[in-house]
Amino acid sequence: MTVQDTTTSTSETEELSSHVSADAVWRLPVTVCRITGFLGGRTSATLLERAVAAAGGGLTPSTVDGNKVIPAVRRSRSGDFAAPELLAAIDEVLEAVEHTLGVSCRDTEPSYGLNVHNDGDFYGVHQDTDGVGYASDRLLTFVYYLHGTPRPFRGGALRVFDVALPLGSDRVGTWEDRTWRDWEPEHDSIVFFRPTAWHEVREVGCPSGRPEDSRFAVNGWLCRRSDSAVERHG
């Protein structure tokens, strides 16, 4: 009887044990909403002219963490930029974007600017918010792309990294676990994604070095309204 009980117990333990490898990893694609031909030829051409004019002067080296210029992490130029046409168009598609990304942007306000990448420029892997402390008012990231035709630069893709979560509880995810998808900075296209997503701007090659041949992007966020002033990072 004792032997039979022992045998049954061992068999049950084997049946309950997992057959999944302890090294198994969830790979969860991050959702990106992308719309091409967003503003149309006439409006996008007007914004491109405005961006080229801004690139001729008034832009400053892009920063990280609010006010730090760190060329090893981010190399580009940024500045204020008025694009009411773009904001109006975003409002028209916002409901569909919210539904797709599973985020509510009620009672938010935009914070955005112009980012210009020329030869050798890039932005390393980063988040626009950690969702807790760092820039936690950001609820949605948007990036609208502009450039001359034909495209006068190479590279500059937006690389968005998937979430990688080990199934086993005895280890943590590494960058080697992650996969990604690259999104081309096509003229008059826009992408939306959650600001907690890890992403980067791949290095740009622009042999001419001319400002008008740059990769232009109107980059911004829809931010939770606050009665107090909130620092806009990045």
Residue 36 reports pLDDT greater than 80: yes
In this structure, what token pair is assigned to residue 204? 């740009």
Burial class (CB in 10 A: 0-12, 13-18, 19+), 118: buried
Query: Nearest Cα to 38, choosing from 198, 212, 217?
Result: 217
pLDDT, residue 167, reads 83
> Cβ contacts of residue 14 below 8 Å, gap of 6+?
none
pLDDT, residue 17, reads 78
Mean pLDDT, residues 220-230: 74
pTM, full prediction = 0.87
pLDDT, residue 122, reads 98
Cβ neighbours of 164 (radius 10 Å): 18
- Give Rg (Cα) of the chain: 23
pLDDT, residue 185, reads 98
Residue 4 reports pLDDT greater than 80: no
